[in-house]
Amino acid sequence: MSHRPLRFCLVTTFYPPYSFGGDGILVERLAVELVAQGHHVEVVHCGDAYNSLRSSTAPARDGYQDHPAIVHHRLESGVGFLSPLLTQQTGRPVFKTRALQRILDTSGFDVVHFHNMSLIGLTALRFSRAITLYTLHEHWLVCPTHVLWRFNREPCERQRCTACQLHARRPPQLWRHTGLLERELQRVHAFIAPSEFTRTKHLEMGLRVSSPIVHIPNFMPLPQAVPVPDPAPHMSPYFLYVGRLERIKGVHVAVDAFKRFTKAALLVVGDGSEMAALKAQAGGQSHIHFVGRLPFADVERHMRHALAVIVPSVGFETFGNIIAEANAWGTPVIAHRLGPFPEMIDGRGGMTYGSEQELQDVLNRLYQDSAYRSILGERARDAYLARWTPQRHLSQYHELITTLQPENRTFASHS
């Protein structure tokens, strides 16, 4: 489908290489794909936020590696951590206000698309003079700690936000009790939910908006040709975990499972605050390997050769990016039956579990039954092609933008 060239501005707290986690990567992918379609794209992100939160041992970042046609605006105020701190406390850009207003109010954009804006400032929405979109990459609109992870131990089903913020060592955000959130969100023409679960969960947790919340899944780039030769990264058959090593990601569940299941190896790719605890939990088991961080090309090689990728998250994700990435390579997934994972797998491309014994049963079946594993691999690739390609995402994205043109706005309230 062809579209006339538009002017896009993507606004986000973090953007590679000044970023942490997956949301910045997703924004970068969208920017690159839009430029490839011939659109003009500018990206606004907060350098102060990245510099304030990066570890003291992490190197300073310099230079973008996305596309030379993308225009970048890295917001740096000169006051360091005070800028994101005051934004977190007030919900306003504060030291970033003039720069944001200059960029958004005077550049003639057709679409301004907000992503993770927790340290950009909610009132930045006021500066958009275009079709205004907001993607629910996290649960920040209904959870001050972003992830609906109650007291750092369980999924949040009943909000006790102030106590939870204190437990997480985050200052309470008093502006959330002023009506600012509800007022500013009225400026958004449509919200994008990466999963039906995320859409439903935001409404369950009290999000009240008059604009539609539209389900458009995230996308993964089309896999490149497999290099030749393509040696397996590990000698023996293995299952794979890829992601941050944090409690909410459930890596401890996988480690526990493989202390019982010893027929194949578990490779853990990633880093995080739980690394030492997880190694201690593994107790020196020779078939459990902590690989650490890897370049994305090496992560993909690990995916291609894995029996399956394990996604054991014990908190509510908004979308399982790793599921789509594994399925793109035709690799089955084993996922905890929680959040968006059941709708993503849905009998295609993998298996889900709800208990320790179910996880053992799934591991045994996929290890022993190579024919079934091949069937799941074919379904995985089919699921990727049907749901999570760039073409699929951008088709739905442009359809939404078309409906939001002033002459086409017919959405009813989804509140």
Domain ranges of the chain: 7-219+391-408, 238-388
Q: How far apart are CA 187 and CA 133, in angstroms?
A: 9
Q: What is the pLDDT of residue 412?
A: 44
Read out DSSP for 260-315? H--SSEEEEE---TTHHHHHHHHTT-TTEEEEE---HHHHHHHHHH-S-EEE---S
Q: How far apart are CA 325 and CA 125, in angstroms?
A: 32
Q: 7-219+391-408 and 238-388: same fold?
A: yes
Q: What is the pLDDT of residue 1?
A: 44
**Alpha-carbon distance values, 189 to 107, 114, 129, 237, 373 (Å):** 19, 11, 11, 49, 44
Please give the angle made by the CA atoms of 242, 218 and 113, to the nearest 5 degrees: 125
Task: Give the end-to-end CA distance of the chain in Å, rounded to a whole number.
Answer: 32
Beta strands 149-150 and 154-155 are antiparallel
Q: What is the CATH number of domain 238-388?
A: 3.40.50.2000
Read out DSSP for 254-268? HHHHHHH--SSEEEE
Residue showing tokens 């340290």: 119
Q: How far apart are CA 394 and CA 399, in angstroms?
A: 8
Q: How far apart are CA 345 and CA 350, in angstroms?
A: 6
Of the CA atoms within 13 Å of residue 268, those in its CB half-sphere come to 26
Residues in the chain: 415
Q: How far apart are CA 134 and CA 122, in angstroms?
A: 11
Q: What is the pLDDT of residue 108?
A: 92
Angle between helices 251-260 and 356-368 (to 10 degrees): 60
Closest C-alpha among 111, 108, 149, 117 to residue 135:
117
Q: What is the pLDDT of residue 158?
A: 67
Question: Which H or E run contains 193?
Answer: strand 190-193
Chain segment 272-305, per-residue pLDDT in tens:
999 999 999 999 999 999 999 999 999 999 999 9
Q: How far apart are CA 189 and CA 177, in angstroms?
A: 23
What is the DSSP secondary structure assignment for residue 64, as one 8-state letter?
A: -
Q: What is the pLDDT of residue 402?
A: 96
Strand order in the sheet with 238-242: 288-292, 265-269, 238-242, 309-311, 333-336, 350-353
- CB neighbours (10 Å) of residue 228? 5
Sequence-distant (6+) residues with CB within 8 A of 223 are 300, 328, 329
Residue showing tokens 């399925």: 327
Sequence-distant (6+) residues with CB within 8 A of 219 are 29, 33, 324, 388, 389, 390, 392, 393, 394
pTM for the model: 0.93
CB 173 within 8 A of CB 89: yes
Say which CATH architecture domain 7-219+391-408 belongs to.
3-Layer(aba) Sandwich (3.40)
Spans of the chain, pLDDT less than 70? 1-3, 56-61, 158-160, 409-415
